[in-house]
Amino acid sequence: MTHALPRDLHCPRIATRANGLELSRIVAGMWRMVEWNMTVGQRIALIEQCIAMGVSSFDHADIYGNYGVEGQFGEALRAQPALRDRIQLISKCGIKLLSNKRPEHAIQHYDTTAAHIVASAEESLRQLHTDRLDLLLIHRPDPLMDFDEIAEAFTRLKQAGKVLHVGVSNFSRHQFEALNRRVELATNQVEFSPLHVAPMFDETFDGLQDLKVAPMIWSPLAGGHLFTSNEANAENLRLVVKEIADRLHQPFASVIFAWIMQLPSNPVPLTGSGRIEAIAVAVAGTTFKLSRTDWFAILRAARGHEVA
C-alpha cells in the first residue's frame, strides 16, 4: 500500500549534546552522489529541497565516490554560495583507498596520524568549497591509532576554526570513551537497523546515552536488505513492519526510521538516496511514535525470538 506523505512535512533539528552541535533530525548521506549523475543545477535543487524539509545536515567522507563526492557537492556550493550558511557539513577521514586519484597509496589501509587527519580535513575544505566543517569524524578505528595524537590533531583543527566539532564512526564504547577523555566528541556514527541490532546490546548506545551524546546511524534500512533479503527472519520482519505501517497509514520505511529514533540515546539516522521522495519518507518517521507494543513487535521479529 502507498501512503501519502503530509504536505507540511518538516524535519526538526537536534542538539547532539551540550557542546552546541546541531544536526537535522534526518541527515542526508551523500556517499552515492557520483552514481546519481546529477548536473550542478540538479545538485543545487536537491540541497534546496532537503533544506525546505528541514534536512540541513549533509554527510560526506573524503573517500566517497573514489574521492569524488566532496568535489561534486562543492561545485554546487561554489555555484550557490548562500547555501553554505543554511547547512551543516559533515566529513570523515582516516581511510586510504587504492585509487587512480591517489597513486601514492600502495595498499588500502587506515591512517589516523595527526598529519593525515589535518591534511585530509584541509583537502575536504578545498573540495567542499568552504572554510569550515561543522563535524569531522574518524571513519573507522585504526589498530595503530594513538588517542593522544588524534586528540592533538582534532584540537589543532578546532583552534584554527577549520572544524567546529569532532567525533568518530564505528568505534566501540571503550574506544569512544578513551578518546572522549582527551577531546570532547560530538557523536559516534555506527551501523544500526532491525537487521543489525548489535549497538543496542554491546553497550554502544548505553554508553552514548550515559554521556548524552546522540549516535548517528548509517544503513538504517540495512542497505536495502530489509526489502530484498530472502532470509526467513527478514521476511517475517517485513510482514510485521508492513502490518504496523498499514495500520498507522505510514510508509514502511517511515516506520523503520521511527523505530530507530525512539531509542533513548536519540539516534540521528542518515539516508543514502538522491531521490527527494525517499528522503521525505525518512523525514515522515519524525512525525509519529510507535506504541511500546509495536516497537517490541519489531524487535522480536528482528531477533527471531521473544525478548523476555
Distances (CA, A) of 115 to 149, 152, 192: 9, 10, 31
Residue 265 falls within a domain, yes or no? yes
**What's the rounded mean pLDDT across residues 199-224?**
97
Residue 113 falls within a domain, yes or no? yes
pLDDT category of residue 6 using cuts at 50, 70 and 90: low
CATH code for position 171: 3.20.20.100
Residue 135 falls within a domain, yes or no? yes
CA distance 218 to 31: 11
Is pLDDT at 173 greater than 60 in this prediction? yes
From the CB of residue 199, how many other CB atoms can be counted at a distance below 10 Å? 23
Beta bridge partners of 28: 58, 271
Residue 6 falls within a domain, yes or no? no
Q: Are 298 and 55 in contact (CB under 8 A)?
A: no
Residue 23 falls within a domain, yes or no? yes
| Identified catalytic residue from 64, 73, 192, 259 | 64
> 95 lies in which domain range?
13-303
The tens digit of pLDDT for each residue in 220-261 reads 999 999 999 888 789 999 999 999 999 999 999 999 999 999
**What's the rounded mean pLDDT across residues 170-183?**
98
Q: Which three cell numbers stand for residue 143?
A: 589498530
Residue 4 falls within a domain, yes or no? no
Is pLDDT at 83 greater than 90 in this prediction? yes
Is pLDDT at 102 greater than 60 in this prediction? yes
pLDDT category of residue 194 using cuts at 50, 70 and 90: very high
| Residue 67 annotated in active site | no
pLDDT category of residue 3 using cuts at 50, 70 and 90: low
Identify the pLDDT of residue 16. 62
Q: Which three cell numbers stand for residue 108?
A: 588500502
Identify the pLDDT of residue 12. 83
How many structural domains are present in the chain?
1
Q: Can you give the pTM of this predicted structure?
A: 0.95
